Structure 1
């Protein structure tokens, strides 16, 4: 892996930093205790679940498990880890969660030890509005009782160099059209909720709890709502509206940030075999989009 302070010119293409970057797969284990499910229910202000060993973990709630806590001395100025097995050797990284996919063969069950095997699936470079971007796809395979239960891919985007430019779309107060959807779920992400979600997912990124840092360093008008939290919000729709139809597969894309204090709504339109999902505010009709297929 290249050194943390590379001698390459700052204008070097991002792909040149990862030409020989081939991290090996990593295996982790977790007993899948019920406490994180109870804790997230409290953070989301949901009724306290009467969970017991053997209960199915809701779609994407496996993000509460297999956590890796980074020592404070190994965190960068943004609160994100400086080093990590699947962190690309790009100087002065800015990290964004772009989306992902998940196939649920059988849901993971509480109280049964499980194994996760993580591997690097793909690395590509693309050009966006802000310059060159590095897309990293991490594949995760979850096993329980000797069987593959769940296969997930996460798409993470990295940009080299800090970006303190303002985000004009975040400051636009013009009303966005309200989606016409039969499923609707209003939601408001308070700073306290973001703090709780960060704690439950071992996320120390300062954009979720340090308002001065958000404004002065990242150019955001306020605390940023976690992308995974928006995905979980969308998945609450089929979980509440069609509890008898388990989700077999899902995909989601995170498009534009949502900020603490904003009134958010998740929308869903069911179809024959699944449902189309989205997250909207007064500013934007599609901060996040998703699709589920029922089993």
Structure 2
């Protein structure tokens, strides 16, 4: 079993003024209108970014060490989901402090070997007041590369829902999203690494990008989201056509080919 005895990282804080330029860049990536005065939910992922030195990166492109990176060998990271609660919106021009802390780290035995489920909480403060709270669920696998997955389907998924957004996540989109979020994880842009080192059948689509696509539905319909939860269920690979579906009563999903549900989300 994965041993993390004694691993108890201290909380840390980062303060940043929120300017509109990163949000405008994401809007362009999504072929959407830029937001107004407020940062839409989950768009905080464009801010408070870690920018490690090149020498501090591991072979997978992630930092080799970090405050909330568990000390386990041959660590491979996957985004699993999260939750977000908005008390007051983050606004452009605000100076906001993000306080990060470890919530839990639970070893598990998965189909591909030992796993560590880590939850990190981000609390956003403005003038000392708590305005929003986010929790991220991350999965770390220890060991060699996974068994190669089967070739993905590229058939356009069927979908019938009140809200519908069609998307195809090509390598250019993945590269641009990696650049916006300063994410150097090689599974998103280095196909040889993704297939040979980590056993994927192609470039992997970012879990946060799928979550943002889900949230585009209520945003474009004019619904103000104050609370949401999302869970990554199956991987999506570059070039696969997607159907992002939703309903006004708060149900969202990303449908991939072969009747695969890649992500589910709820909002209110």
| Fold equivalence (TM over 0.5) | yes
User: 2:260 & 2:146 partners in 1: Cα distance?
Assistant: 25
- Who is 1:92 aligned against? 74
Structure 2: any 5+ residue segments left out of the alignment?
none
User: 2:95 & 2:63 partners in 1: Cα distance?
Assistant: 27
Tell me the CA shift for residue 146 of structure 1. Answer: 3.0
8 Å CA contact 1:32–1:112 kept in 2: the answer is yes
- Who is 1:10 aligned against? none
User: 1:164 & 1:118 partners in 2: Cα distance?
Assistant: 30
Larger Rg: 1
8 Å CA contact 1:97–1:227 kept in 2: the answer is yes
SS in 2 for 1:247: coil
SS in 2 for 1:286: strand
Tell me the CA shift for residue 65 of structure 1. Answer: 0.4
Deviation track 1:40-92 (CA, whole Å, cap 9, x = no partner) reads: 11222224x375xxx11011000000001111111111111100011010111
User: 1:176 & 1:253 partners in 2: Cα distance?
Assistant: 22
- Who is 1:6 aligned against? none
Number of aligned positions between the proteins: 268
Deviation track 1:183-205 (CA, whole Å, cap 9, x = no partner) reads: 10001112111111101111000
What does residue range 1-295 of structure 1 map to in structure 2 within 5 Å? 13-14=1-2, 16=3, 18-47=4-33, 49=34, 51=36, 55-168=37-150, 171-173=151-153, 178-241=158-221, 243=222, 245-271=223-249, 275-293=250-268
User: 2:253 & 2:76 partners in 1: Cα distance?
Assistant: 25
Deviation track 1:76-115 (CA, whole Å, cap 9, x = no partner) reads: 1111110001101011101111110111111100111000
User: 2:157 & 2:179 partners in 1: Cα distance?
Assistant: 34
Tell me the CA shift for residue 132 of structure 1. Answer: 1.8
8 Å CA contact 1:164–1:216 kept in 2: the answer is no
Deviation track 1:1-29 (CA, whole Å, cap 9, x = no partner) reads: xxxxxxxxxxxx11x2x111111000001
8 Å CA contact 1:165–1:219 kept in 2: the answer is yes
SS in 2 for 1:124: strand
Cα-Cα RMSD:
1.6
Deviation track 1:127-169 (CA, whole Å, cap 9, x = no partner) reads: 221122111100110011332111011011111112142112x
Structure 1: any 5+ residue segments left out of the alignment?
1-12
Tell me the CA shift for residue 125 of structure 1. Answer: 1.4
User: 1:45 & 1:235 partners in 2: Cα distance?
Assistant: 14
8 Å CA contact 1:94–1:162 kept in 2: the answer is no
User: 1:39 & 1:162 partners in 2: Cα distance?
Assistant: 37
Q: TM-score, with normalisation over the residues of structure 2?
A: 0.95
User: 2:117 & 2:142 partners in 1: Cα distance?
Assistant: 12
SS in 2 for 1:178: coil
SS in 1 for 2:201: coil
8 Å CA contact 1:176–1:284 kept in 2: the answer is no
Tell me the CA shift for residue 175 of structure 1. Answer: 5.9
User: 1:93 & 1:221 partners in 2: Cα distance?
Assistant: 20
8 Å CA contact 2:194–2:202 kept in 1: the answer is yes
